[in-house]
Amino acid sequence: MDQQSLRELEYRCIQEQPPWCSAACPLHVDVRAFTAQAAAGKWDAARKILERTMPFPGILGRICDHPCENVCKRLEVDEAVAVGALERCCIENSTPQSRPLVLPGKKGEAAVFGAGLAGLTVALDLARKGFRVSLRYPGETFGAGLTGLAVPKEEFDQAAALLKRIKVDLREAEIPDQAALDRLLENGLAVFLDLDEPAARVLAEGETPDAATLVLRRSGLFAGGGPDPEGGYSPIRQAADGRRASGGMDRFLQKVSLTAQRETEGPQETRLYTNIEGVAPAPRIIPADPGAGLSGEEGRAEAGRCLRCECMECVKACVYLENYKGYPKLYARQIYNNESIVKGHHKSNKMIDSCALCGQCEVVCPNDFSMANLCLSVRESMVRRGKMPPSAHDFALEDLRFNMGPHFALAQNAPGAEQCAYAFFPGCQLAGSAPNHVERVYDWLREAMDDSVGLILGCCGAPALWAGERELFGRTLDALREMIRPLGAPTLVTACSTCYDTLRRHAPDVNTTSLWEIMDRTGATPSPAPGRVPAALAVHDPCTTREHPKLRAAARSLAGKCGVEVQELPYNNELTSCCGYGGLMSCANPGLAREVAERRAQQHSGDYLAYCAMCRDVFASTGKRVWHLLDLLFPEAAGENPAARSSTGFSERRENRSRLRRNMLKALWGEEAGLMEPHEAVNIAMDADVASRMEDRRILKEDLQRVILHAQETGLRLQDPTSGRYLAYHRPVRVTYWVEYAPEEDGYRVFNAYSHRMALEGDRQ
Amino acid sequence: MSDLSFLPETNWRCGKCGEKLTPRITNVEYLGNTFTMELLACEKCGLVLIPEDLARGRMFEVEQLLEDK
Ligand code: SF4
Ligand code: SF4
Ligand SMILES: [Zn+2]
C-alpha cells in the first residue's frame, strides 16, 4: 500500500467527518461532545467544551443564533436539537472552567477599535497567541451592538477583566482619525475596525471588507462585525468575523500568506452519513417557564435527544471491526504503518489476518469501503515479502493439501459413462461434516438429471485464496482443472457456496452451478417425513452468497417446499454476516471467531437453517440448534436429531473424507482405494477431554499416530519409570508434536499432546 | 550462557538408554533466528525434554514475537 492508496482509503471512510451541527457552526463548536456532557447533567464539563472553541461563552453562549439547528440531522425525524437553548442552560448552570492559555510573546502588535463581539474576539485571540494588543472603545460602548440582548452586565465586566488578565491594553478612548490610523499601519501594526462601533464604521468609509480575509482596502487593515446587510443581527457571525480577522492578522504579522489553507474555516459541508432508521420521534422539550429557558433537568432531557451523529455502519454490523475499537479509517492507517515497518514489531498482523473477508462492510458502507479487499491485498503482500506469520494459516493450508491429495481428491465419470455433462462437487466441508449427505445427493442427482453426472472430490482453493497464498491458489485451481478435463468439461454442481463463489470469480472457464438451483428447478424435491420437519427456521445466508441472489432464493424456496416457514435474521441476504469461518478467521483468531459465531447465533431465538456445511458446524459448536438444508431434503440421511448434531472435529472431518472416498469408489465403481500409510495402522484411544483439548490445539489424530509410530520404531522416547508412560516427539514438517502415551491392549492410550514450531538443533525439517 | 533456561524437577528418563536427564545447552531455530536454550536431556544420547508449560508458554510467546518481527 502506498501513501496515495492510503489517502484514498482514508477519504472513503467518512466516520471522522463532523456532524451537521458542528460543520455548520462558524466556530465549529463540538456540539456532539457538548450534548453528551449535558445529557449526563455535567454542565461544567459541557462548558469546558464550549470554551475550547467559543470566545466569551458567558456572552455568546446566551445569545447565539444557532445556525446549527437549521441542519440538525434530527430534523429528518422530528425537530432539531435545541442547541441554542442548551448552551444558555449550560451557562446558567456552570461557572467558567479554564483559564485561557497565553502563548509565549511574539513579535508584532495589533490595535483594535470598537468593543463589539468581533473586536473583543480579535483582542482575545491575538493576545492569547502572544501578540501585543490594544483595544480602544468610546465610553460606555463595551459590548457595542449587544445591548438589549439577554446578557447580564456582569458578563461584560468579566470579559473586560479577562482581557486585562491576558495583558490586553484595554481603554476607553475616542476612535482615532484617518491620519492616526494611517500612521499605525505605516508602523506595521495590524488594525481591526469593529463595524458595530459607529466611529470605527466612519473609518471604513462605507466599504466592505473582503469576504475571505476581512482585509479592508489595504494591507494590515481588517474589519468585521456590524449589522447584517439585511438589517438582521447575528452574534455568531460577529464572533466568527472576529475569529477570521484574528487569523488573518496573525498571518499578516507573521508575514505569511493570508489565504493559504484556510478552507476549513467557517461553515462547511459535511460528508458524514448517519443512519436514522429506528430513531423514535421525541419532540423538543418545552421549558415549563419559557422566560427562564430550560431548567437543568429539562436541559438534560433535551440534550438526550441529540443523535450524536456518526457513521459506524460497518462497525455496528461486524464483530471483527468492533473488536479493534476503531473504524476503517483508523485501521487503514494502522495497516499502512504495519506494512511500512522494516524492523520491529508488526502490531497489526493479527488484525489483518482476523478479517473474515466476507464483504459485509462494503455493502453496508455508504461509501463502499471494503475492509475485505484491504486485508486480502495486504495478506498477499505479506506472503510475497515473507512476512506472513506461519502460524496464522498453516493448519488450514495443510488441510487444503490433504483435500487435494490422494486421501480425498477424486474425479470419476458417472458409473458406466464415458463423459459427463455434470459433475457433483460437494466440496471438502460437506464431505467432512456430513459424508452421508454427499452419497445421498449423488444418488439423487443421478436419478433426477437426464444427463450423466460424474463426481469430483477436492477443494476449490478458497483457503489458499483467503491466506493470501496467490500462488498456491492458482496451483490448486489448475489441479482442479486437470481433474475436470478428462470428464469432458462437465458443469460442476456445487453444494458449498464458497466453492461456487470462488470458482465463479476466479475460474470463470469452469462451468459452475449450485445444487440448490438445480434441485429447485427440477422440482424433484424428496418429500420429507411429516412431523420431522420444524414449522419455522431462521435462515442464515453464507457470506459467500452475498453476490448470488439466485442461490439465496433457491435455498429459501427449497425450505418452503419442505413445509418450513423461513424467517429472516437482522442482517440477511446481501447484508449477511459471516459465521466466523470465512477468511480463515477461525484459524488465525479462534477466540474472535467464536465470539462472531455466538453473536450471530443469538440474533434469533429459534432454530437456524444453514445451507453451508461450515456455517452449520460453526453454529452447532456454539450450542445453537441448526438444520442444514439437506437435513430437510434428505431426512433419512440426516440422523435422528439433526438440529442437535454436534460439530464435526478436525480429525473426524479428515477421516470422513477419506472414508467417503473409499466407500464411494468401492460401492459405485467397484474400485479399491488401496493406499494405507503406515501410521494409519496405529490404533489410538483417548478420553473425551483429551480429544477436545487436541481439537483446541489443532492437533490431529494422524499427528499423534505419526509421533507414536516414530517413537516405537526408533525407541526414541522418554519414560516415566513410576507410571510407565512414554513421552515422545516428532517433527513431520513445520511443527514438532509431543505425545504422552502408554501402550494398552491393542494399541495406545494418549494422555496429552502439545506442539511448538521452534526447531531443535538436528531436527529433520 | 543460554537465552532461555528450563530445568524443572522431572520423573522423565531416557527411554532408550535409561539415563537420567541432565542440563544441556541446545540450539534452537525459528524463522531464521537461532538461539540457545538450556534443557534437560539424556546424558548419553542427547534426547531432550520440552515440557508442556515451556512449549505452550515461553516458547509460544517467543514464536509469536518472531512471527511479528
Ligand atoms: S443530532 Fe446531535 S450530532 Fe447530529 S446533527 Fe443534531 S445536534 Fe449534531
Ligand atoms: S460504514 Fe464504516 S468504513 Fe464506511 S464510512 Fe462508515 S465507519 Fe467508515
Ligand atoms: Zn538416551
- Burial class of A77 by CB neighbour count within 10 A (0 to 12, 13 to 18, 19+): middle
Chains A, B: CB contacts within 8 A come to: 86
Chain B residue with CA closest to A720: the answer is B12
pLDDT, position A523? 73
Walking along chain A (765 residues) 10 residues at a time, the average pLDDT comes out as 93 97 98 98 98 96 96 97 98 92 92 96 97 94 80 93 96 93 96 94 91 93 87 88 97 95 93 96 94 95 98 97 97 94 89 98 97 97 95 95 94 92 96 94 92 95 98 97 94 97 97 96 68 88 97 96 94 96 96 97 96 96 95 80 88 93 94 83 95 93 95 94 94 93 95 95 57
Return residues 388-407 of A near B (CB < 8 Å).
Answer: 389-392
- Please indicate, yes or no, whether residues A293 and A416 belong to a single structural domain of this protein: no
CB spacing of A716 vs B16 below 8 angstroms: yes
Residue A457: inside a domain: yes
Collapsed DSSP state (helix, strand, coil) of residue A44? helix
Which of A589, A754, A755 to mutate to probe the B interface, most B CBs <10 Å? Answer: A754
| Dihedral angle computed from the Cα positions of residues A675, A678, A679 and A681, in that order, rounded to the nearest 10 degrees | 80
Say how many Å lie between the CA of residue A717 and the centre of ligand 3. Answer: 9
- How many whole angstroms from its chain centre is CA B68? 22
Contact A758 B21 (CB under 8 A): no
Residues A613 and A580 placed together within one structural domain of the fold: yes
CA distance A128 to A51: 14
**pLDDT tens track for A651-698:** 999 999 999 999 999 999 999 877 678 898 999 999 999 999 999 999
Strands A190-194 vs A109-113: parallel, antiparallel or unpaired:
parallel
Query: What would the grid cell of residue A645 be?
Result: 448434531
Among candidates A343, A723, A754 on the partner chain, residue whose Cβ is nearest the Cβ of B55: A754
Strand partners, A454: A423
Question: Residue A758: enclosing H or E segment and its boundaries?
Answer: none
**pLDDT tens per residue, range B13-63:** 999 999 899 999 999 999 989 989 899 999 899 899 999 999 999 999 999
User: What is the rounded distance in angstroms from the CA atom of residue A684 to the CA atom of residue A701?
Assistant: 8
pLDDT at A765: 36
Kind plus residue range of the DSSP H or E element containing A510: none
Residue A762 forms part of a structural domain: no
Q: Is A706 domain-assigned?
A: yes
Q: Residue B7, Cβ neighbours under 10 Å: how many?
A: 13
The phi and psi torsions of B23 (rounded to 5 degrees) equal -60, 145
Pair (A474, A588) in one structural domain:
no
Report the alpha-carbon distance of residue A269 to residue A288 in Å, rounded: 35
CATH at A113: 3.50.50.60
C-alpha B19 to ligand 3 mean position (Å): 6
Nearest-CA residue for ligand 1 atom 4 is A309
Residues of B in contact with A757 (CB under 8 A): 30, 63
Ligand 1 centroid to residue A52 C-alpha, Å? 18
Query: Does A114 lie in the same domain as A88?
Result: no
Q: Confirm whether A88 is domain-assigned.
A: yes
pLDDT at A646: 87
CATH number at residue A63: 1.10.1060.10
Strands, DSSP E only, in A25-79? none
Nearest CB to B13 within list A349, A718, A736: A718
User: Do A423 and A508 belong together in one domain?
Assistant: yes
Q: Is A716 on the interface with B (CB under 8 A)?
A: yes
Quickly list DSSP for A266-298.
Answer: SS---------TTPPP-PPPPPSSTTT---HHH
Taking the CA of residue A355 and the nearest CA in chain B, the distance in Å comes to 17
Task: Please answer yes or no on whether B11 and A720 come within 8 Å at the CB atom.
Answer: yes
Please indicate whether, in this complex, the C-beta atoms of B69 and A389 are within 8 angstroms of each other.
Answer: no
Is residue A351 assigned to a domain? yes
Q: Check residue A675 and give left, alpha or beta (phi > 0: left; psi -120 to 50: alpha).
A: left
Residue type, A234: S
CA of A698 vs chain B CAs: smallest distance (Å)? 13
Question: Quick one: cell of A355?
Answer: 478479517
Report CB contact under 8 Å: A718, B31.
Answer: no
Three-class SS of residue A419? coil
Asked whether residue A184 falls in the same domain as residue A143, the answer is yes
Residues A558, A439, single domain; the answer is no
Do residue A412 and residue A542 come from a single domain?
A: no
Class of residue A529 by CB neighbours under 10 A (exposed 0-12, middle 13-18, buried 19+) = exposed
The closest CB to that of A715, out of B11, B16, B68, belongs to B16
Do A231 and A118 share a structural domain? yes
- A604 falls within a domain: yes
Compute the nearest-CA separation of A382 from chain B (Å): 11
Residue with cell 431548567: A295
Could you list the residue range(s) of the whole structural domain that residue A544 is in? Answer: 536-636
Cβ–Cβ below 8 Å for B68 and A349: yes
For cell 497565553, what's the residue? A102
A383 and A429 together in one domain: no
Model-level pTM? 0.89
Residue whose CA lies nearest to ligand 1 atom number 8: A21
Does the CB of B50 have a partner CB in chain A at under 8 Å? yes
| Confidence label for B2 from pLDDT (cuts 50, 70 and 90) | low
Name the DSSP letter for residue B40. E
Query: What burial letters (b/e) apply to A239-274, b meaning 16+ CB within 10 Å?
Result: bbbbbbbbbbbbbbbeeeebeeeeeebbebebebbb
Residues A431, A405 within the same domain? yes
> What is the structure's pLDDT at A531?
64
CATH of the domain at A698: 3.30.2310
The torsion angle over the Cα atoms of residues A34, A40, A43 and A48, rounded to 10 degrees, is -40
A421 contacts: CB under 8 Å, gap ≥ 6:
A451, A452, A453, A488, A490, A491
CA A257/CA A399 separation, integer angstroms:
64
Residue A263 lies in a domain: no
Does residue A511 sit in the same domain as residue A439? Answer: yes
Q: Considering only residues A687 and B4, tell me which one the structure prediction assigns the higher pLDDT.
A: A687
- What is the number of structural domains in chain A? 6
Substitution target in A756, A763, A765 with the highest count of B β-carbons within 10 Å is A756
**Residue A463 resides in a domain:** yes
- Taking the CA of A19 as reference, the closest ligand is 1
The pLDDT of residue A414 = 94
Within A409-568, residue ranges assigned H as helices are 427-433, 435-448, 462-466, 470-484, 497-506, 515-522, 549-561
Give A621→chain B minimum CA distance, Å: 24
Cα of B61 to nearest chain A Cα, Å: 10
Task: Provide the sign of the torsion angle of the four alpha carbons A521, A522, A528, A530, taken in this order.
Answer: positive
Task: Please give the number of the atom of ligand 2 that sits closest to the Cα of A315.
Answer: 2
* Interchain CB distance below 8 Å, A716 and B47: yes
CA dist A345 and B66 (Å) reads 9
